[in-house]
Amino acid sequence: MHLSTQRTILRPFAPGDAPDIFACMSPAITRFMAWEPPSTPGDFEKVWRAWLDAARDGTEFHFVARSCNDNRFLGIVGVHAARSDTPELGIWLRSDVHGKGLGRELIGAVIGWASGSLPVRHFEYPVAEENVASRRIAETYGGEVRARRSDPKYQSVVYHIPPRRT
């Protein structure tokens, strides 16, 4: 399964992606995420092996985004709770591609795929209140704040984003 946008190709995570992903993880990248970056490639292997198990049973999907031009790793888009009618979307991008509209592009591609492939009533998109860029992504796709959460690292809002009907 491959998804594409004007600038990217998204495909399910494969073990060969792990070194590129690990190299781009940092505390700065995970500032607005509930998790901390793994300390070692071995620690990350435990994480990505769980991703593969979840993909096999259809409960989660992790799409790796790469540049169409040079195949460079750009980021990951996750679809969590994929068997529910309210799957959760998440995204992180390598720091040097922030501010270029890639998040919006990638989330749009995954919303399109999931809307046609999963029984979606709405998507949930949790985001740190301070993360203005991610909030704009949700709002671009019609997202509305429907809940607030207190996470260990920050206060967050949860957007509900409607599926894209064709």
**SS3 sequence of the chain:** CCEECCCEEEEECCHHHHHHHHHHCCCCCCCCCCCCCCCCHHHHHHHHHHHHHHHHHCCCEEEEEEECCCCCEEEEEEEECCCCCCCEEEEEECHHHCCCCHHHHHHHHHHHHHHHHCCCCCEEEEEECCCHHHHHHHHHCCCEEEEEEECCCCEEEEEEECCCCC
Residue 45 lies in a domain: yes
Residue 66 lies in a domain: yes
Domain assignment of residue 66, given as a range: 3-121
Q: Encode pLDDT of 9-50 as tens digits.
A: 999 999 999 999 999 998 888 888 888 889 999 999 999 999
Assign residue 94 the CATH number of its domain: 3.40.630.30
Q: What is the value of pTM for the model shown? A: 0.94
Residue 63 lies in a domain: yes
Number of folded domains in the chain?
1
